[in-house]
Structure 1
Amino acid sequence: MLGAEGASRAIESYQSQAEQLMKDYLLADTFVPYSSILVGIFACKLVYELTQLLSAFYFKSYSSLSIIKRIEWNNRAISTVHAVFITGISLYLVFKSDLYNDNALSGYITYRSSFLSTSALGTSIGYFIADLVMIVWFYPSLGGLEYVIHHLLSASSIAYAMITGEGQLYTFMILISEATTPGVNLRWYLDIAGLKRSRAYLVNGVVIFLAWLVARILLFIYAFYHIYLHFDQVMLMHDFGKLLVFGVPLVLLAMNLVWFGKILKGLRKTLAKRQ
């Protein structure tokens, strides 16, 4: 156990570190974070072009879609690929690796980062930038105001965690919620394909309901519990970092609950039609 004087010095040291983070990062090596953002944007463009090419060749219904529907088709492929990528990385870093394990490494978990964690966040920012540009450009065809708010909050919190190295653990916890995206996109594809009355559509609805409950509600509750257990470490973060750790998950959770209500209502309607 640290003595009172030692603990006080440790707290002052971490507070000083937090205050200097935003001033010092410009002098650090920025190759990894900023190059990973470019990689993310380039990957989105590549997936878009490949989806357009392969869909026109393998799906007859693709060519008969309107231009905006084809754009949304390609856009959803991008979000699906990003969701699979970032969910896998987030699950590994949060629950499997030793990076954020309390007992594996010394130092506060709120300041831990690695090459993998930083580059993964940068790639994710690249996706959110590319997707937000598309949403705004074709507004509101690809999503309404709630999508713009969601992307702005996500991109800002991810960028802060990437640049400063603060609170990356909680950023990855929230990014696990992207696990619901492939199911939501598959539902849209099934609808476009005229399979709204199929068994696959029903199973998809149930899977989305369960995945949303776990990844976008229960996981958020776990994140807040984890913040509570490490409250003393979180309070050593920069004020803006603390605002993001406490504020962004709350706003996203509120939005998730609203969407969850719509999912539940839609599932009930689907089940009622089959009785």
Structure 2
Amino acid sequence: MVIQSYQDQAEQLLKEYALADPVMPYISIIGGIFACKMVYDLTQFISIIQFKSYSSLSKLQRTEWNNRAMSTVHAVFITIMSLYLVFWSDLYSDDQLTGPVTLQSSPVSTFVLGVSVGYFLADLGMIFWFYPDLGGLEYVVHHLLSVVSVAYTMLTGEAQLYTYMVLISETTTPGINLRWYLDIAGMKRSKAYVINGVVIFFSWLVARILLFIYLFYHIYLHYEQVRQIQSFGLFLVAVVPLVLAMMNLMWFAKIFKGLKKTLAKRQ
């Protein structure tokens, strides 16, 4: 009971002071960029010591190695926070009496979105700098849509629920990055590579296909509340998930073909 009391007091202080400042969203963006830089540098430092093959990679491969570690850390962070806020917390519950679910937000949810904006800005900067080696046009479109929509919902507090639903799709990122690491390590014929492909297929199906269907269904059920969002926010809710869903289907088709090809070689 005593520990719980101290925890409640700490959370209350955090909400009232650290997260209540008007400049907090911008601080969280800077924090997200700084965290990306820290993870990038730590990955480089640790990889030189722990992985002998790291030094034999080309400069571009080492850059992508560090970049993928950065994206993996962000994916784990944002997936955990998104799952908690969407499914376990009562912030976006229909039982809330404080207004439409599409207008619900909190200092914590806004702070987390700021960190994510920081990541997308940092990663987008690297994509532009090394274009097209770290990602082609589809990655640029994906990150631009992410920056605009996440920044908007962070600053206005509108449609945060749908933003977090879309961000749950980042749960597939660690598996995609692991596949690249296995490939670069010459393990394409290993059992781990096959298992990784199967995991990617099912995680993509759940997080980027089925979850998006649920998102569209939720928008349909709460259409009257969605209409209360400002015009630009309403445009983002209507367009961004649809564009991302189309991109997800395109990538899913490639994943399915790749998995079939890998399994055929194993027979």
* Fold agreement, TM-score > 0.5: yes
1:175 match: 167
Residue 67 of structure 1 pairs with residue 59 of structure 2: yes
1:101 match: 93
1:221 match: 213
Task: Read off the aligned partner of 1:84 and give its amino acid letter.
Answer: V
Q: Distance in 2 between matches of 1:209 and 1:39?
A: 33
Residue 81 of structure 1 pairs with residue 85 of structure 2: no
1:105-120 matched pairs, under 5 angstroms: 105-120=97-112
The alpha carbon displacement at 1:193 in A equals 0.6
Unaligned runs of 5+ in 2: 1-19
Residue 37 of structure 1 pairs with residue 29 of structure 2: yes
Report the secondary structure of 1:236's partner residue: coil
Task: Read off the aligned partner of 1:244 and give its amino acid letter.
Answer: L
Q: Distance in 1 between matches of 2:97 and 2:174?
A: 34
2:10 match: none
1:152 match: 144
CA contact (8 A) 1:179 1:215 kept: yes
Q: Deviations over 1:13-36 (max 9, x none)?
A: xxxxxxxxxxxxxxx953210000
CA contact (8 A) 1:157 1:248 kept: yes
Residue 51 of structure 1 pairs with residue 43 of structure 2: yes
1:8 match: none
Alpha-carbon RMSD across the aligned residues, in angstroms, is 0.9
TM-score (norm 2): 0.92
The alpha carbon displacement at 1:110 in A equals 1.0
Task: Read off the aligned partner of 1:262 and give its amino acid letter.
Answer: K
Q: Deviations over 1:235-274 (max 9, x none)?
A: 1110100110110000000000000000000000000001
1:266 match: 258
Q: Distance in 1 between matches of 2:108 and 2:220?
A: 26
Task: Read off the aligned partner of 1:154 and give its amino acid letter.
Answer: S
Unaligned runs of 5+ in 1: 1-27
CA contact (8 A) 1:227 1:234 kept: yes
CA contact (8 A) 1:99 1:105 kept: no
CA contact (8 A) 1:167 1:245 kept: yes
Task: Tell me the number of residue pairs that the alignment of Structure 1 and Structure 2 aligns.
Answer: 248
Q: Distance in 1 between matches of 2:103 and 2:215?
A: 17
Q: Distance in 1 between matches of 2:257 and 2:92?
A: 38
Report the secondary structure of 1:273's partner residue: helix
Q: Distance in 2 between matches of 1:59 and 1:105?
A: 54
Structure 1 outlier segments of 4+, above 3 Å: none
1:198 match: 190
Q: Distance in 2 between matches of 1:105 and 1:255?
A: 36
Task: Read off the aligned partner of 2:216 and give its amino acid letter.
Answer: F
2:16 match: none
Report the secondary structure of 1:38's partner residue: helix
Task: Read off the aligned partner of 1:161 and give its amino acid letter.
Answer: T
The alpha carbon displacement at 1:115 in A equals 1.1
Q: Distance in 2 between matches of 1:192 and 1:105?
A: 52
Report the secondary structure of 2:92's partner residue: coil
Q: Distance in 1 between matches of 2:113 and 2:98?
A: 23
Task: Read off the aligned partner of 2:206 and give its amino acid letter.
Answer: V
Q: Deviations over 1:24-60 (max 9, x none)?
A: xxxx953210000000000000000000000010000
Residue 136 of structure 1 pairs with residue 136 of structure 2: no
